[in-house]
Amino acid sequence: MKSLIFVFMFLPLFSATANWKSSESTHFRVYYREKMVDPKPILQIAEVFYAEMSRISRHISDETITIWICNTQEDFKAYVHAPIQDWAVGCAFPLSRRIIIQNPSQIMAAKLQIAQVLRHEIAHVLFGQYTRKAVKGIPLWFVEGIAIHFSKEWVPGRHKTLLSNVFTKSIVPLQELTEKFPVSQKGADLAYAQSQDALRWFVEVNSIETLWAVIDHLHKGATLNEAFTTVVGYDLETFDQLWRESLPQRYHWASFLSSSYVFWGGLSGLFLICYLITRRRRRKQLDRLIQQENRIDPFFIE
Ligand SMILES: [Zn+2]
């Protein structure tokens, strides 16, 4: 039954294949609608990132990775039940080496760059291929954290999201982000921000080589919990706890003040206060001058 659903899920994609144009490089093939995008820069970004990820890419099969650039929202929505769906801009099927990307204009409307989305989805495919023995059991926060970390993704607003949720004590335990992310945009934003920070903190505390050691254990088929216990000496539950304890120390009032909104808001508030004080002083000076002028000069008094 499962395989039947799988086939039906992909029917729209294959039945429409005839309308797709394609262009390929050494490791990638881009499918796109005519006159919609120039495939050359897409292939170039993909190949550069593939080479950057050589620590993984040299160990996996060099079978072509396909990238489908959708034209319409409908095209894209047809694949909504994808294993890894990156909030309306892209999705990746790591085991079948397929990436589906939203129309570039939609990506730009979401204030993201196509290069960034592309690198993120390719990171999913490469990581999924390398850890294929363990990939289905790896918690989603780790999978997303890895894609963000390796694609060097930067999304405006993620720092602020984390900061305000640390303040309001509404950080979600990582173990609640194991299988899926919240459906709401706000919940998903927080889940991505947390995944990014958890991986960044892991690397800061343990080093990038330790992260690679964990990934290599996954490659050999270990679960993430086993990999953590072997490599860093504590399990995922402990990591979850330590990471959450580290947040208030790293996202405190000073970093809150340095966050751009608060900083510029505070600065303009300060300017306003200075302006009001100066205006008051000037008014007082003026009043004094008027009073003096109104007084009759003793010289003219007879
Ligand atoms: Zn992702």
pLDDT tens figures, 40-49: 999 999 999 9
With CA atoms as reference, report the closest residue to 125 among 56, 44, 174, 79. 56
Q: How close is the Cα of 144 to the center of ligand 1, in Å? A: 5
Q: How close is the Cα of 124 to the center of ligand 1, in Å? A: 7
For residue 291, pLDDT beyond 80:
no
83 — pLDDT class (breaks 50, 70, 90): low
75 — pLDDT class (breaks 50, 70, 90): confident
11 — pLDDT class (breaks 50, 70, 90): very low
Q: How close is the Cα of 84 to the center of ligand 1, in Å? A: 6
Check residue 266 and give its pLDDT: 64
Residue-wise pLDDT for 135-191, tens only, equals 789 999 999 999 999 999 988 889 999 999 999 999 999 999 999 999 888 999 999
Highest mean pLDDT among 86-90, 157-161, 283-287: 157-161
Residue-wise pLDDT for 16-44, tens only, equals 555 889 999 999 999 998 888 889 999 99
Q: How close is the Cα of 246 to the center of ligand 1, in Å? A: 24
- Would you list the DSSP string of 252-300? -HHHHHHSHHHHHHHHHHHHHHHHHHHHHHHHHHHHHHHHHHHSPPGGG
For residue 54, pLDDT beyond 60:
yes
**How many CA within 13 A on the CB side of residue 12?**
11
Q: How close is the Cα of 163 to the center of ligand 1, in Å? A: 22
Check residue 82 and give its pLDDT: 58
Q: How close is the Cα of 136 to the center of ligand 1, in Å? A: 15
Order of strands across the sheet that contains 65-69: 21-24, 28-32, 65-69, 98-101, 90-93, 84-86
Check residue 258 and give its pLDDT: 56
295 — pLDDT class (breaks 50, 70, 90): low
Report the share of the chain in percent with pLDDT over 70. Answer: 78
Q: How close is the Cα of 118 to the center of ligand 1, in Å? A: 10
Question: Mean pLDDT score of the chain, rounded to an integer?
Answer: 84
Residue-wise pLDDT for 193-241, tens only, equals 999 999 999 999 999 999 999 999 999 999 999 999 999 999 999 999 9
For residue 250, pLDDT beyond 90:
yes
Q: How close is the Cα of 231 to the center of ligand 1, in Å? A: 25
For residue 88, pLDDT beyond 80:
no
pTM: 0.78
1-130 has CATH 3.40.228.10 classification? no
Q: How close is the Cα of 253 to the center of ligand 1, in Å? A: 30
Domain locations in the chain as residue ranges: 1-130, 136-258, 262-300
Q: How close is the Cα of 277 to the center of ligand 1, in Å? A: 51
